[in-house]
């Protein structure tokens, strides 16, 4: 006689497997945090981390909405998702967050830099 395995539907959230779109988004996030040597892992265990260096820690994203939030507004989403339990840190929390913060503090690209005219307008309005 076989025993049936009872699964509590409220205790174990069922997530669909990561799709191609999820993996593409995860690769973009992983590229952004690559200098930090932090591994991004999706809810199904897949990861775009492909460096030869062992990661200092992992960020486990537990749902698609959190993954999209990390693309749209990573500063806001990271903290909100962590406190809500939709994102987990594997490894030392301080080390992982510090490394990711340093990796994200890169000089702005030419697109993000204000034009010289904009700087002049800003300083004029600040002085008035």
Q: Which pLDDT score is estimated for 69?
A: 93
Better pLDDT: 44 or 116: 44
User: How far, in Å, are 3, 12, 65, 82, 123 from residue 99 at the CA level?
Assistant: 47, 31, 24, 16, 34
What are the tens digits of pLDDT across the range 4-60?
455 444 555 667 888 999 999 999 999 989 899 999 999 999 999 988 889 999 999
What are the tens digits of pLDDT across the range 51-100?
888 999 999 999 999 999 999 988 899 999 999 999 999 999 999 999 99
Q: Which pLDDT score is estimated for 81?
A: 96
Query: Cα separation of 107 and 125, whole Å?
Result: 25
| pTM for the whole structure | 0.70
Categorize the per-residue pLDDT at 121 as very low, low, confident or very high, splitting at 50, 70 and 90: low
Better pLDDT: 3 or 23: 23
Query: Cα separation of 125 and 113, whole Å?
Result: 19
Q: Which pLDDT score is estimated for 7?
A: 47
Q: What is the sign of the dihedral through the CA atoms of 69, 72, 74 and 77?
A: negative
Domain coordinates in residue numbering, the chain: 1-128
What CATH number was assigned to the domain covering residues 1-128?
3.30.1050
Query: Cα separation of 35 and 112, whole Å?
Result: 20
Q: Which pLDDT score is estimated for 123?
A: 63
């Amino acid at each position: 006689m076989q025993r049936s395995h009872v699964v509590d539907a409220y205790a174990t959230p069922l997530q669909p497997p990561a799709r191609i779109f999820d993996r593409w988004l995860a690769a973009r996030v992983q590229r952004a945090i690559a200098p930090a040597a932090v591994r991004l892992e999706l809810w199904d265990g897949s990861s775009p981390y492909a460096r030869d260096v062992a990661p200092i820690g992992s960020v486990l994203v537990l749902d698609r909405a959190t993954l999209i939030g990390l693309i749209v507004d990573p500063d806001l989403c990271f903290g909100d998702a962590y406190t809500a339990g939709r994102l987990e840190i594997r490894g030392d929390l301080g080390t992982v967050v510090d490394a990711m913060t340093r990796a994200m503090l890169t000089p702005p690209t030419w697109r993000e830099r204000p034009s010289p005219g904009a700087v002049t307008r800003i300083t004029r309005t600040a002085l008035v």
